[in-house]
Amino acid sequence: MKVRNTPYRLIISGGGTGGHVYPAIAIANAFMARFEDAEILFVGAKGKMEMQKVPEAGYPIEGLWISGLQRKLTLDNLSFPLKLIDSILKSRKIIKRFKPDAVVGVGGYASGPLLRVATKKRIPSVIQEQNSYAGLTNKVLAGRVSKICVAYPGMEKFFPANKIVMTGNPVRSDISNLTNKRATGLKHFGLSEDKPVLMILGGSLGARTLNDSMVDGIEALVGANVQVIWQCGKFYYKEMSAKLEASAHGGLIHLFEFLKEMDLAYAAADVVISRAGALSVSELSIAGKPTLFVPSPNVAEDHQSKNAKAMVDNEAALLVKDSEAKENLIKRAIELINDQAEQEKLAKNIKTMARPAAAEEIVNEIVNLIE
């Protein structure tokens, strides 16, 4: 590799959900860990969660006036051409000013205009696709970019095969070793050491089915003496707070809109209930947690079911269908909590599905393109 006299400059673009934002931050952290003097700029969509989460992670971000097309006729759709033109013009200004050595797109609205401009200027470019079913923005960009980093086999049906690199999904590094964090996690969440802990994750926006199943299962969980870390999502927090307050939960149920200290939450949990988004699957594999996946039916090509099936086929997780969750989910979780042998089998097998070096492998691809 050539010795450089100037620091690397990298733009990372995209977001909209935690499934895009957190892999982007993980890539940035891995890049900075290798090149301490690197300069990294994020570009996101105004009003989306990256505009808050990226500065919290210590990186600068600029926002584009962009959103997706809705399926029905709305004012947003009518303004889409204006937003696209505005975002392309702003992307040109950002790239001209920042002069990146490479750009990375992680999916989401903002990565479209930014990478369109960058690839036109022949700047080395990488996109990272988290799911087994490719997102629209990444599919549109695939023909233009230099490399495509994926987490699932069979992505040739979406992308040019010669550009694909199997890296896995980058996740936050603090969850890769939870061995000595359990006591800290229990203390942080106000949990007792002598009762099992169930964690429920509905994703950054929350999941109606998981929340309703949880409300219906409070009595059974209390009866089984199970403590719960319940992340319900910002859309449901007020409603679920009221329902929890009206229940006799005996202080066993701990409700959160969002979990910042995910490493401590994973460390404290004995069993996890989760949607099967790509990031969740990747994190739970690295954390090595016995998991019940409840795939969301409201996603493109039912890709969460495919994500979960890959785990179930390897005896690395259990699956409860969304349509059966209200009736069976909490009952199945309590059965798993009471079955130590099953927990150990699932934990061991899900660990074998992990790709803990994904972020570093993506950094390798970026650097190879620059050099």
- Please tell me the predicted confidence (pLDDT) of residue 42: 98
Amino acid 336 reads L
Give pLDDT, residue 274: 97
Token code pair at residue 359 = 């972020």
Which among 173, 264, 273, 283 is positioned nearest to 231, based on CA atoms?
Answer: 273
- pLDDT by residue for the chain (371 residues), tens only, comes to 455 689 999 999 999 888 899 999 999 999 999 999 999 999 999 999 999 999 999 999 999 998 765 555 566 666 778 888 999 999 999 999 999 999 999 998 899 999 999 999 999 999 999 988 898 899 999 999 999 999 988 899 999 999 999 999 999 888 988 989 999 999 999 999 999 999 999 877 789 999 999 999 999 999 999 999 999 998 999 999 999 999 989 899 999 998 989 999 999 999 999 999 999 999 999 999 999 999 999 887 788 998 999 899 999 999 999 999 999 999 999 999 999 999 999 999 999 999 999 999 999 999 999 98
Distance CA 314, CA 184 (A): 32
Q: Model-level pTM?
A: 0.86
| Rg, Å, the chain Cα set | 21
The pLDDT value given to residue 203: 73
d(CA 142, CA 144): 5
Helix (H, G, I), strand (E, B) or coil at 260: coil
- HSE, CB side, 13 Å, CA atoms: give it for residue 267: 20
Backbone angles phi, psi at 48, to 5 degrees: -95, 165
Residue 21, classified by CB atoms within 10 Å of its CB into exposed (0-12), middle (13-18) or buried (19+), is: buried
Angle at 86 between CA 84 and CA 88, to 5 degrees: 70
Run of H or E residues at 328: helix 325-337
Beta bridge partners of 262: none
CA distance 288 to 308: 15
Instruction: Identify the pLDDT of residue 241.
Output: 96
